[in-house]
Amino acid sequence: MSAAEGPLVVGVDTSTQSTKALVVDAATGQVVASGQAPHTVSSGAGRESDPRQWWDALREALHQCGEAAHEAAAVSVGGQQHGLVTLDEHGDPVRPALLWNDVRSAPQARRLVDELGGPKAWAERTGSVPGASFTVTKWAWLAEHEPEAVRATRAVRLPHDYLTERLTGLGTTDRGDVSGTGWWASGTEEYDEETLAHVGLDPALLPRVVRPGEVVGTVRDTHDLPFSKGTLVAPGTGDNAAAALGLGLRPGTAVLSLGTSGTVYAVSRRRPGDPTGTVAGFADARGDWLPLACTLNCTLAVDRVAALLGLDREAVEPGGSVTLLPYLDGERTPNLPHASGLLHGLRHDTSAGHLLQAAYDGAVHALLGALDLVLDADADRGTPLLLIGGGARGTAWQQTVRRLSGRPVQVPEARELVALGAAAQAAGLLTGEDPAAVARRWNTAAGPVLEAVEQDAETLERITGVLSDASPLLERGTEARPRTQGRAADIED
């Protein structure tokens, strides 16, 4: 292990597919050890995971860190947002967690919006208009489809809450993650009693919302974990809020995160409330706000298209007039939970490379459509976009974002920004600093800047037109339709 200048801290990223742990020098930001372990997600109609896999993965990732984890003075967990974790009286999962990209609750989302005052009222009260990803809609789905699971539930948690509670024995959450549930009022920063009563959720089942910078507790010594006695536990937060901390993000700078899902967000000092539902009015982990738009289909969907075509993910070909909307898992932005992928404009001269480029274009188009909505009106539109996530270092992703945005793009050299943000939060407990200031001291956002190129307005307009024309079809999705009746079936040779 490299000699550290300051105390060591651990930052955790429990994402959809795996859990990662970084041991970081709080003085310099140097990563001195790391570990990672996978967990599984169900396929089929829903997207579910057993929370106990997250704990097992965390234990494995920490043990991979070796002695460095034992020397750490504080730990914090950043996690995938929105997931519904239901626990029984023993703290064991009642059923697998319903994850953010499980869209079975789309009907419940529509009903909740209508029954509690409509989109404008939701945006004013909670900052967001809930879609199928929001936790409140998943609870409503569970109550309707699995009432026995609801009756057995004695605690309701988010993914990062679950791991934090396993560490400390205390049920807590933070404002950044809880703002994505749909049952937390952003105006009062308290649980919303009207919403909870409407969906039949007892507030006593929910965790305490801790303050930014508060020490949640210490790691219990009842676990086979490599922590020393008295290791402090920070509040943790949702993955996007953690990444914002990890970048030391200031107001006016937009982030495009290219992962399984795509997100675009910025820090704001104004409480957001978009009645169209495009922008979610999340809180950040510090006391400001994090207006954010999310797409369900990003790198995973584009990689699937590449695999179907038998191409490497970088084997794009410019030109062509084909449009591909890669909505393979339904879509959240635009709000089309039942949609599937759509291909338009196929011609004899369309190549496989054209199709792959069209998949990139369709994914980026959805993100850029929300870019101006997450930025404050007085933000400098010439500031480079920060490109992060698994796709950020891909040349095809970089060039597509540059071409369709017409803006410079900066790619931070720091990796694992969610875990780094959690580590900065843990470091803040020790130093008394704002975690974002810690990350700026670590210089995590440093990286090459790719200059702006002329915006490809023609492609943007073409995709927008196809999306508009195809919306009725996309809204119906792949539900069974009655067969066309007529005389054609009776024609004989």
The string of pLDDT tens digits covering residues 141-200 is 999 999 999 999 999 999 999 999 999 999 999 999 999 999 999 999 999 999 999 999
Q: Residue 69: which H helix or E strand, with range? A: helix 67-71
Q: What is the mean pLDDT of residues 379-393?
A: 90
For the chain, the residue count is 493
Question: DSSP code of 73?
Answer: S
What local confidence, expressed as pLDDT, does residue 196 receive?
98
The string of pLDDT tens digits covering residues 419-473 is 999 999 999 999 999 999 999 999 999 999 999 999 999 999 999 999 999 999 9
pLDDT band of residue 337 (cuts 50, 70, 90) is confident
pLDDT at position 105 over 80? yes
pLDDT at position 486 over 50? no
The string of DSSP codes covering 154-195 is SEEE-HHHHHHHHHHS--EEEHHHHTTSSSEETTTTEE-HHH
Question: What share of the chain in percent tops pLDDT 90?
Answer: 83
> pTM (2 decimals)?
0.87
Cα–Cα distance measured from residue 157 to residue 149, given in angstroms and rounded to the nearest whole number: 14
Least confident of 218-222, 230-234, 348-352, 429-433: 218-222
Question: What share of the chain in percent tops pLDDT 70?
Answer: 96
pLDDT at position 355 over 80? yes
pLDDT at position 227 over 90? yes
The string of pLDDT tens digits covering residues 409-429 is 999 999 899 999 999 999 999
Of 161, 174, 239, 284, the catalytic one is: 239
pLDDT band of residue 327 (cuts 50, 70, 90) is very high
What local confidence, expressed as pLDDT, does residue 298 receive?
95
Q: What is the mean pLDDT of residues 477-484?
A: 49
Q: Is 239 a catalytic residue?
A: yes
Close Cβ partners of 490 (under 8 Å, ≥ 6 residues apart): none
Q: What is the mean pLDDT of residues 91-97?
A: 97
What local confidence, expressed as pLDDT, does residue 478 receive?
56
Q: Could you tell me which residues are beta bridge partners of residue 21?
A: 12, 35
380 SS3 class:
coil
pLDDT at position 284 over 60? yes
202-209: long-range contacts, CB 8 A cutoff, minimum separation 24: 205/153, 205/154, 205/155, 205/156, 206/156, 206/171, 206/173, 207/155, 207/157, 207/161, 207/165, 207/171, 207/172, 207/173, 208/170, 208/171, 208/172, 208/173, 209/172, 209/173, 209/174, 209/175, 209/178, 209/184
Question: DSSP code of 68?
Answer: H
What local confidence, expressed as pLDDT, does residue 369 receive?
85
Q: What is the mean pLDDT of residues 226-250?
A: 95
